[in-house]
Amino acid sequence: MHIPNRILVTGGAGFLGSHLCDRLLTDGAEVLCVDNFFTGSQSNIQHHFNNPSFEFMRHDVTFPLYVEIDQIYNLACPASPVHYQRRPAQTTKTCVLGPINMLGLAKRTSARIFQASTSEVYGDPDVHPQTESYWGKVNPVGPRACYDEGKRCAETLFFDYHREYDTDIKVARIFNCYGPRMHINDGRVVSNFIVQALRDQEITIFGDGSQTRSFCYVDDMIEAFTRLMGTEKDVTGPINLGNPHELSILELANTVKELIGSNVGLKILPLPENDPARRCPDIALAKTTLDWEPKIPLEEGLGKTIGYFDKTLARTTP
C-alpha cells in the first residue's frame, strides 16, 4: 500500500494516537504528532524522539494549525467520562473547533482526513446491535453530552465539508478499545478492573454488572484505521469499528480476576446517569468494505494489557 509522505496525527501522544504513530512510522510515513497533553503523555511517544521521520508539536487543536501535510488523522479529544466530564466545555470545544480547524487544513492542503468518531453517537440505543444507519438516542443536556453531542456535531461538519467542498473524508465510529498505554486513571472499565485487581482492591461495578460492552484490542483497531484510510474516495463512512463479541461487565470483571489470579471482591455502586445498557457494533460494513474484523482474542489482549499495567504500577509504586 502506498503511504503518503507526511501524515498529521492529532492526539498523537494519547492511547490510540501513539499506537497509530507507531504503525505509520513502521509503514514508512513521516509523522507529525500533535498533542496538548491533556490526556496524552510524552512517555507514549518518547521512543520516537530520535527518529528523523517523527516530529512532535505541542498544540491545542481548538486553535488553527498551519502545516503542510498529505493526510490527517484527527484523534484529539478526551475519550473517557472521567476526563471529558472534568472539563465539559473544553471537551465540546475540542469536539467541534478541532474538526473545524482540521477540516480547514484539509481543504487548504487537499489532504485526506480521518475523524475518530465514537459509538457514543448512538447514545443509549434502542437498536441492537448498532448499525451505521441508526441515528441514536442521546440526551443533549446530560453529563455525557459534551462528548456524545460533540462527536455527533463533528460528523455533521465532516459530511458538510464533503458535500460543500468535496473534502476527502473518512469517519470511523470506534467502539470500546483497550490495550497498553491506556491512562492508568482514565476511569474506563478495562483499566479500572486491571489496576484495582493488581492493587488487590475491590473491583468497582456500577449497577448490577449486567450492562454489556464489546472490547477490541488496539492492534486490531489501528489496522482498521489504516485500511479505512486506504479506501477509494467514495468510501466515506461512517463505519463501525469494534469487536462484535458482546459480554457483560460482570463477565469482564471475572475474566480479569482469573487472568491476574486475584480473589478480590466486588464493590457495587449506582449506575451513572445516561450510561448505556447495551453497546455492541454491527461490523458487516467493515467486513465487506475493509475486509476487516478483530483477530486478537479477549484473553490474549487482556494479558498484554495486564502486563503493561503491572510494569507501570511497579514503576510508580514507592
CA distance 120 to 206: 18
Separation CA 178–CA 86 (nearest Å)? 21
Q: How far apart are CA 11 and CA 154, in angstroms?
A: 15
Residue 178 falls in the annotated catalytic set? no
Which residues make beta-bridge pairs with 71?
7, 112
> CA triplet 49, 66, 228: central angle to 5 degrees?
70
Burial of 201 (C-beta count, 10 Å sphere; 0-12/13-18/19+): middle
Which is catalytic among the residues 84, 147, 161, 178?
A: 147
**Under 8 Å between Cβ of 179 and 222:** no
Which cell is 173 given?
465510529
What is the rounded distance in angstroms from the CA atom of residue 252 to the CA atom of residue 202?
Answer: 14
Question: How many angstroms separate the CA atoms of 226 and 297, rounded?
Answer: 21
d(CA 289, CA 133): 15
- For the annotated catalytic residues, the residue numbers are 147
